[in-house]
């Protein structure tokens, strides 16, 4: 570790990121009194769930709720 105390020395903790993002979404849902979310944009789905949908995510018309 350096003497500057830089936090970039730690690797990305993907498990922590996924948990924090999911918890933020759950907290926002609770605050807005929502029971469910419908996410269409692939980036939003990936942010909240941590899953990658592949190239089909760019064509919203082929997905159904």
pLDDT digits (tens, 9 = 90+) for 32-53: 999 998 887 778 888 888 887 7
Q: What is d(CA 35, CA 37) in angstroms, rounded to the nearest whole number? A: 7
Q: Which two tokens stand for residue 7?
A: 């936090």
Task: Write phi, then psi, for 9 (nearest 5 degrees).
Answer: -75, -20
Contact 20, 13 (CB under 8 A): no
pLDDT, the chain, mean: 80
Is residue 10 scored above 90 in pLDDT? no
Could you tell me if 18 and 50 are in contact, meaning their C-beta atoms sit under 8 angstroms apart? Answer: yes
pLDDT at 54 (0 to 100) = 73
For residue 25, pLDDT over 80 is answered with yes
Query: Where exactly are the structural domains of the chain?
Result: 13-62
pLDDT at 24: 95
Separation between Cα atoms, residue 63 and residue 65, nearest integer Å:
7
pLDDT at residue 20 greater than cutoff 90: yes
């Amino acid at each position: 570790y350096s003497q500057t105390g830089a936090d970039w020395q730690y690797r990305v903790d993907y498990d922590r990121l996924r948990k924090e993002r999911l918890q933020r979404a759950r907290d926002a849902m609770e605050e807005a009194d929502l029971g469910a979310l419908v996410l269409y944009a692939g980036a939003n789905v990936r942010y909240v769930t941590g899953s990658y949908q592949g190239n089909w995510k760019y064509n919203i018309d082929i997905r159904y709720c």
